Amino acid sequence: MPSEKPLPEKGFITFNVEGNDIENSPYFSREFHVPSASSGLTIGRGYDMAHRSPDEIRKDLVDAGVDADKADIISDAAGLTGPQAEAFIADKDLEDFTITWAEQLKLFEVVYEEIERDTRRLATKDDVQRKYGVTDWENLNETIQEILVDLRYRGDYTPSCRRFLQHHVARNDLARFTEEMENRDRWPNVPSDRFKQRAAFCRNAVDST
């Protein structure tokens, strides 16, 4: 990724695996895409409109720097998923619409803050802490935090995941946490590239301590 482009202060691993900046690539993220049948109209590194209101979409886009008139049009995609979201792109003549790198970064920061907040909620729920131990989120190792948010971002931070991972989170044990992240058998449904990047991110943190 070109060094002159600003990067997020938090969540680099998630930002990196959620797309690329290569035009004509199927993973080029600054244009509209619909990642799955249950996804909404998505732009940037994970800004999905399926569960957002028109007003919320409009505000987020304008705050990021998107033209207000264009944001009005795009906000009509609120709640659409799968084929309906795909059709919206053509119906509104948005096939060639792209956002800037800076706009993409601002939208990512919106999503990341939301997901980080929900990850903390899940990690510190009463029932989770009774079962696996208390997680001190404020003092939790930053690598563990960032990987947990990425797990939640992709939908991998599930009750079944917590059964083998959460004890190490509560103990703030980066080494044991990393062993689980490197165990491919634990993550059969995670794409290979994302699995490898998560594992390498953890291993680099362990090796640098």
Global pTM reads 0.93
Q: Are residues 99 and 129 in the same domain?
A: no
Q: Is residue 114 part of a domain?
A: no
**Domain final residue, candidates 69, 104, 139:** 104
* Within-domain flag for 70: yes
**Tokens matching residue 160:** 């079944």
Judgement on whether residues 129 and 95 belong to the same structural domain of the protein: no
In this predicted structure, what is the pLDDT of residue 2? 46
Domain, as residue range, for 188: 124-207
Residue 100 shares a structural domain with residue 16: yes
Residue 3 lies in a domain: no
Based on the domain organization, do 100 and 135 belong to the same domain? no
Looking at residue 4, its pLDDT comes to: 78
**96 and 148 belong to one structural domain:** no
Cβ neighbours, 10 Å, residue 209: 8
pLDDT, tens digit (0-9, with 9 covering 90-100), for 141-160: 999 999 999 999 999 999 99
State whether 138 and 172 are in the same domain. yes
Place of tokens 């980066």: 174
82 and 24 within one domain: yes
pLDDT of residue 112: 98
The answer to whether residue 202 is domain-embedded is: yes
* 79 occurs within a structural domain: yes
| Last-in-domain residue among 70, 104, 138 | 104
Judge whether 132 lies within some domain.
yes
Please give the pLDDT value at position 89.
Answer: 98
pLDDT at 114: 98
> Residue 102: its pLDDT value, please?
98
In a domain, 2, yes or no: no
**129 shares its domain with 181:** yes
Report the pLDDT value the prediction gives residue 99, as an integer from 0 to 100: 98
Return the pLDDT at 209. Answer: 85
Among 56, 72, 104, give the residue marking a domain's end. Answer: 104
Residues of the chain with pLDDT under 70: 1-3
Nearest to 166 by CA among 185, 188, 184, 151: 151
Tokens linked to 137: 């989120």
Verify that 100 and 147 share a domain, yes or no: no
The total of structural domains in the chain comes to 2
The count of residues in the chain is 209
- Do 132 and 181 lie in a common domain? yes
Q: How far is CA 174 from CA 31, 164, 178, in A?
A: 37, 14, 6
Same domain, 83 and 128: no
